[in-house]
Structure formats: C-alpha cells, structure tokens
A and B are shown apart, each in its own frame.
Chain A
C-alpha cells in the first residue's frame, strides 16, 4: 500500500524538481494525446519545445518569446508578492486593461504632437490606471472585509465593458468612420513602444519585466517589506505580533500588483497590440497567475516560468500552423502543464511510503 506522510517542512529538492517533473509528465501525456489525434507525438513535442528556440525560424520566434513572456512576467512578479502574503489578486486582467486605457488615453490626448515627455507620461498613467483599479478590491477589503478574490475577479468583466466603451466612444479613431478602435499608436511615434533593437522582440515592456524581477528579488531577500510579506503568508498571527500592519500590507501588495499589471497593459497597447480595441485583452492577466505559481512565487522562478509559458504558446501556435493540430488540443496541453504542476506538488509536501499490508 502507498501512504502519504506529511513532511515537517517542504522538501527543498522536490521544490526545485517538481516543475521539471511536471514538464516531463506534460510531454508524456501530451504526446499520447497528439498520438491519439493521429499526429506524430515526437514531431509535435519538438515543434512546441525545440523549434521556437533552435529551429529554422528561431530568429523570429526567439523575439516573439520575449514579446509573449514580457507581460506575463511583469504581471506575475507583482501577483506573487500578494500571493506570498496570502492576498489574492485574481483580477490582474482588469488592471491590465485599465492600465492600457489610461496609458493610451494620455498618449492620444497629445495626438499629433511629438514631445519626448509623452511616452514617460503614458508609462506613469498606465501604472496609475492599474493601481487605481486594484485599489477598489484593496480598499473594500480593508474597510469592509470583502473577499478580494471575488471583487478583483468580477472587476475584470467591468473593465472589459469599460474597454469596449472606450474603443467605441471616447478613444475611437475619428478617421475610421463607423469602425471601433483607437488610432494605431504604432504609427504615432511619440506614443509608440517599438522594438529597441529590430527583430529581437525586446521592447520597453520586456525591459520593465526584467527590472521588476530584479527589484522583486531584492525586495523579498533584502528589504523589511519583503520579510513582512513572507511572514504574513507563513503565519498571520506571528506577523501581527511582529508588528506587520495587515492593512498596509494589503494596500501595498494589491497596489504593486495592480501597477505592474497596468504597466504591462500600457506597454502592450503601445507596442505589439498597437491600439485600444474591443478585443484588446487576450488573457495575460489570468495566465500570469499560472506563471506565478509555476515559478514558485520566486522572481527568478517566474522569469523562467514566463519564458516556458511563452514557449508553449509560440510552439503551440507553430504546431497548429505546421502540423494542423487543433487549437483545443494545444489548450489542453497547456492545461496539463498546470494540472501536473499542482499534482506533483504533493511530492514537496509529502513523503511517499510503501507500507506492507498487515504490518502496520
């Protein structure tokens, strides 16, 4: 018989090994699924994991990996701070949208002027937009003790309506008669966020994501606030005795994650996406939650997890386009990754014991 025995403290070795094990299991189960669909499983796995990095068109895909990973990492780093402290901001998607709207609105207000300060103002506006949207669940929590999971999640749908209203109304391109969507910021130099080096995929948002990783690492390992965050997550009671102000912590964590999500949205709308459109958001805010946990809520882990997640997207698309694997199978494949990650987590918290029947 197999018995699970709780470990006194989570196993360090397994904490690092389980994400790799999860990826391996995903390849195995995913390969079986692709085989069942009549596709060559080895070719499919190679197309997803190898081709974007070293394949024929890697020169293009490598940049796209960064384009895709940038917002995921930026958002996930912020979310991880809260998750560590037991503060659950599930609504990053909404903060991402509002950040994009604020950023774009500031830029469009200046159209067609060309000044060096327009883009920096847009960056600040983007962060403020995300921060304000995150303050709604934060303040409701500290004032009325509402559940931040529900409030932040439901505000995503409010933000989507707000986005549609902006794309159809205030921010609509006045030159596009009858068609929704703002002016394309890629064509408005002072407000655009192009690749810093052509072909690398690196735009300001990717740089910001790297900076966020470094700052988060320092915050968590060197700063008192980082200590408070860790303490509040591990033992709320001890934290209170230790002088942690729970109200300030909620406001800080929600505000930080909201501001970073807002920045991600702002860099996306000025860069890869280009315009405020009704279907602007594509789920980065939700995927970032997976990235945060895949990266064990650790900044460096999140950096790697963001790149891995981006790889499954880019590679998944490549597999769709070249092998004609259905989109749903690729989504299932990504779902497996999270499933196995959570599943094998049991190994870091529990020891597996083989017990002979009747002996116990």
Chain B
C-alpha cells in the first residue's frame, strides 16, 4: 500500500516536473534544405537560429535538421520535430510548402513558418525577403563592370522568387549598359557544388565576366576565382572569404530579427498567421561590403541606390517596363504591385531565352 502510494507520488512529481520543464522552455525547430556549412542560404538560417538561442538564452531550446530533401522526407522531419515537442517550426525552403501544410494540419497547436511559399493556414505563416532589391544593386554594378557585356546567371528553380531576381538584375544592368546580355543556366537544385561549379564554368567559357547565382554554395565563387577577371556576388550570405575578388559585394539574408520576433510571439501567446515580405528597409536584406575592385564612382551609385530603396524612394520595378513578348507591363512611373511580383512568371523585355515550362 505504502509502496504504491510512494510510487504514484513519485510518478506524479516526475510528471509535473516534466510538464513544468516543458513549459519553461519554448522549443523552436528548423528544417534546412542544405547543410549548415553551405556558406549560403542554410548557413544564414542557422546563424539566425543561433541568434534566437543567444537572445532568449535559457528560455528557448532549438533543434534543427539539415539536408532534408524537399518532398515526402520533409514531412517526416517536421512530424518528428512536432512530436518531439517543438512549439514553432521554421521550414526554410520553397519545396517544403505542401509538406508544411500537411503536417500543420495534424498539429494544430504547433506554429509553422514557411519560407518563400504562398500557402498559409491558421497555424502556418509565410515569410520571405525582397531579395530583388539587392539584385537591383547587383545588376547596376554588373552592368557597369562587365567588359564582355555578358552576364551569366545560375538559376535554381524557375519559381517567381528566382525570376524576380533575374528581371531585377537585368533591368538595372541594362539601364547603365544597353549592350548587356544575360544568359541563364537552370541547375534544378538549391545546393549541389558540383553542378553549380559546372554551370559557372560553362557561363565563363561562353564569355561571361560576371556570374550571378541563385544557388546556395560557394562553388561558383571558387570557379570564378580560378578563371580570374570574373566578378561574383555573395548569395544569401556574405561569402567574404572570396573578397575582394571575385566577390565584389553580396546579398545577405538577415533572418535573425524575424525569427526572434516570431519565437517571442509564441512565448507570449500573440503569434498569428501572417505573410511577411521585408527588404532592405527593415534590414531583412542587407548588402555586403562593396570591395575596392569596384570603381569608386560605381560604388557610390550603388550605395545611393541601397539608400533610396531602403528609404522607400525607389522601387526596383518602376515603369516604363515591357514584358519579354513586347506587351506593356508598367507605364511610366508605375510601380509593380506585390501580387504580380509574388507570382512573377515572365521575363522583362530584352532578356533572351525562355523560362522553362
């Protein structure tokens, strides 16, 4: 009799202690498409995870899983985290969209944050950054600096986010250099150093002396360095180890403030499903240091553009702009609306080649 009471008491105490412990800490999970050492996209998401830990200290516990394939496996990784007691899960690649929605439906008490997608539900938010603002700056520098007038572009998947980047870079390169030509290679992967390097080499062999990338590794930087006289831009992360040449600047994704804000909202119970799309103005997109390989006047113009975009005085998609087929898109002075940008599936006038479809 006494023994059972004792056992029951202990079990209860243990149970309560466990529950108390679980309540104390908010658990945040992160699913990455590449390894955290990719030096680009996943690396920056992981830096933001560390920033969350730093900010909340003992009040938060984080877990992550790297190199999770987009598709059926992603669903398992998310379920695993939700079962493991995660309160909020950040799924950081476009291809996790349907799996996130599926898993979120099974765990209504867990909050989900999906990066770069367009499907939301009561417990799924979406967030993305206006990378195209940074692409405008890149395009300007690229247009000014190319000597062969050929700019190579490594595309990952032909989704609106990537197409926006190509258009934005092209518009601003063309503005300062009417002879500029873009060639795009689609590699159909976010992270594959071998494929990315091959694409960079092919573009360089075709005469490109600027290589822009929308993939996550530093392999294109290495390929450009080997070729010499080719400039690149850090993608998603600063990639400063390739400065001052070939990397002359970069777009840095700064997720930390957003992640800290959302985890904080889970803690105080104010989290709700939202769609966030921030850019240079809030600091979600940052422009990495422009090196001395860029002429001083070009650097000055580029910085002025960063300033103007950040202050909301300049929108990278400002008319007059036509679509690739010559049809009118934006009239003089007209600015693109977010809806069109979010679903952008056309090139602007002047870009040769077709979007795969």
A interface residues with partner B (beta carbon < 8 Å):
57, 60, 64, 67, 160, 164-165, 168-169, 172, 177-180, 184, 186, 268, 272-275, 277-280, 282, 314, 317-318, 320-322, 324, 326-328
Instruction: Name the interface residues of B138-165: CB closer than 8 Å to any CB of A.
Output: 157-160, 163
Interface CB pairs A-B, < 8 A, 20: A57-B84, A60-B80, A67-B76, A168-B357, A178-B163, A178-B344, A184-B98, A274-B72, A277-B70, A278-B157, A279-B69, A314-B76, A317-B73, A320-B66, A321-B63, A321-B80, A322-B84, A324-B64, A326-B35, A327-B67
B351 within 8 Å of A (CB atoms): no
The answer to whether A178 and B345 touch (CB under 8 A), given A279-B70, A279-B95, A318-B80, is yes
In the complex, whether B314 has a CB less than 8 A from a CB of chain A is no
B311 at the interface (CB under 8 A from A): no
Shortest CB–CB separation between residue B69 and chain A, in angstroms? 5
CB distance from A57 to the nearest CB of B (A): 5
Query: A274, B65: Cβ atoms under 8 Å?
Result: no
- Bitwise interface map of B from 72 to 96 toward A, beta carbon under 8 Å scored 1, else 0: 1101110111011000000000010
A168 to B189, CA, bound (A): 14
Which chain A residues lie closer than 8 Å to B65 at the CB level?
317, 320-321, 327
The reply to whether A282 and B72 contact each other, CB–CB distance below 8 Å, is: yes
Whether the Cβ atoms of A282 and B71 lie closer than 8 Å is yes
Interface string of B189-211 (1 = CB under 8 A from A): 10000000000000000000000
Residues of B within 8 A of A (CB): 29, 35, 63-67, 69-73, 75-77, 79-81, 83-84, 95, 98, 102, 118, 157-160, 163, 188-189, 343-345, 356-357
Interchain CB contact under 8 A, A179 and B35:
no
Q: Quick one: which of B72, B83, B345 contacts A272, CB cutoff 8 A?
A: B72
| Complex Cα gap A180–B249 (Å) | 31
Bound form: Cα–Cα A314–B76 in Å:
9
Q: How far is the CA of A168 from the CA of B157 in the complex (A)?
A: 10
CA distance A277 to B83 in the complex (A): 27
> B32: nearest residue on chain A (CB-CB)?
A327
A180 touches B80 (CB 8 A): no
Question: Do B35 and A328 touch (CB < 8 A)?
Answer: yes
With a cutoff of 8 Å between Cβ atoms, the chain A residues found around residue B157 in the complex are 180, 278
In angstroms, Cα B205 to Cα A71, docked, is 42
- Residues from chain A with Cβ under 8 Å of B75 in the complex: 272
Instruction: Determine the chain A residues whose CB is within 8 A of the CB of B84 once the complex forms.
Output: 57, 321-322
Contacts of A324 in B (CB 8 A): 63-64
A314 / chain B contacts, CB cutoff of 8 Å = 76
| Contacting pair B83 A327 (CB below 8 A) | no
Tell me how far the C-beta of A58 lies from the nearest C-beta in chain B, rounded to whole angstroms.
11
Contact B159–A178 (Cβ < 8 Å) = yes
CA separation between A275 and B83, bound complex, in Å? 25
For A278, the chain B residues whose CB sits under 8 A away are: 157, 188
Docked pose: A165 CA to B98 CA in angstroms? 20
